[in-house]
């Protein structure tokens, strides 16, 4: 008589398929039907139907009045407990709010996840320049101010991995060659802050500074994003570096 599969063998594929369903949602696909979920996850409709029922029961998904599904609050609650984002955000938020009140500009807090930037917090200033970023969103390390800071202080193998890939061009001023990006990273390390001048949109200037943990390692970056030409780079750099130092001092020790 064949032996029963182990608990890991029974559970693993189910978990993987559930993650495929959740992975079907993106910033551009926030509300999906069952057939949409099947198409974007690559799973049969019958499988998706069963998994969705379980995900709804647990609270990872919610069903709207029109019958479409979207990410549920339970998943957001669990995600908000991620220690790298939670402790950092709580320590940084008072200083981000002060920076926002002083400047009335966009203030952003980000960390590196692999070869991408993940935005942990963003405060939009009144009348501030529109930005393409959102909390929880990812972006290229090479284009934004926070990305350049994080890449400049990333391990050498991460830098080489990023520089070996094709770089997306957002505007005519986006740095796209390895030589250009290496120069920008060297400048960032030398002066203690990064500048992204119209690299993402032609009306925005971003200046960012590194946040250090108690061991002196760069764990995050804070930036101001303003209308190009509205403020000097030096003035913005002074503000973000002051905020970055204050956040660095406020960070709790790592466990």
Portion of the chain with pLDDT greater than 90, in percent: 46
Q: Are 218 and 228 in contact (CB under 8 A)?
A: no
Each residue's pLDDT tens digit, 239-252: 999 999 999 999 87
User: Which tokens in the block code for residue 143?
Assistant: 């284009």
Q: In the predicted model, is pLDDT for residue 127 greater than 50?
A: yes
**Please, what is the average pLDDT of the chain?**
86
Look up the pTM and report it: 0.71
Q: Mean pLDDT lowest for which of 29-43, 130-144, 154-168, 225-239? A: 130-144
List the one residue out of 246, 253, 249, 236 whose CA is nearest residue 107.
236
Each residue's pLDDT tens digit, 206-217: 999 999 998 899
Each residue's pLDDT tens digit, 51-96: 999 999 998 899 988 889 988 888 877 776 665 555 788 889 999 9
Give dist(CA 128, CA 122) in Å, integer. 12
- What is the pLDDT, as a whole number, of residue 6? 45
Q: Which residue has the higher pLDDT, 248 or 12?
A: 248
pLDDT band at 137 (very low <50, low <70, confident <90, very high): confident
Q: Are 107 and 123 in contact (CB under 8 A)?
A: yes
Q: Mean pLDDT lowest for which of 2-6, 26-30, 191-195? A: 2-6
């Amino acid at each position: 008589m064949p032996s029963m599969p182990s608990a890991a063998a029974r559970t693993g594929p189910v978990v993987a398929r559930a993650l495929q369903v959740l992975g079907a949602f993106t910033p551009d696909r926030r509300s999906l039907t069952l057939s949409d979920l099947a198409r974007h996850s690559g799973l049969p409709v019958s499988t998706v139907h069963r998994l969705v029922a379980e995900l709804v029961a647990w609270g990872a998904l919610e069903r709207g009045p029109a019958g479409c599904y979207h990410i549920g609050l339970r998943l957001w609650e669990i995600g908000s407990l991620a220690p790298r984002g939670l402790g950092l955000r709580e320590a940084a938020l008072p200083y981000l709010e002060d920076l926002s009140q002083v400047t009335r500009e966009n203030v952003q807090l980000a960390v590196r996840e692999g070869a991408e930037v993940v935005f942990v917090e963003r405060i939009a200033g009144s009348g501030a320049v529109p930005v393409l970023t959102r909390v929880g969103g990812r972006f290229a390390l090479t284009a934004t101010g926070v990305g350049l800071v994080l890449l400049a202080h990333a391990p050498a193998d991460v830098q080489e991995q990023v520089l070996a890939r094709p770089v997306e061009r957002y505007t005519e001023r986006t740095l796209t060659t390895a030589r250009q990006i290496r120069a920008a990273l060297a400048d960032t390390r030398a002066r203690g802050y990064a500048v992204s001048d119209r690299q993402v949109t032609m009306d925005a200037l971003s200046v960012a500074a590194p946040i250090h943990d108690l061991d002196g390692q760069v764990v995050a970056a804070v930036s101001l994003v303003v209308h190009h030409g509205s403020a000097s780079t030096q003035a913005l750099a002074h503000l973000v570096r002051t905020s970055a130092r204050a956040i660095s001092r406020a960070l709790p020790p790592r466990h």
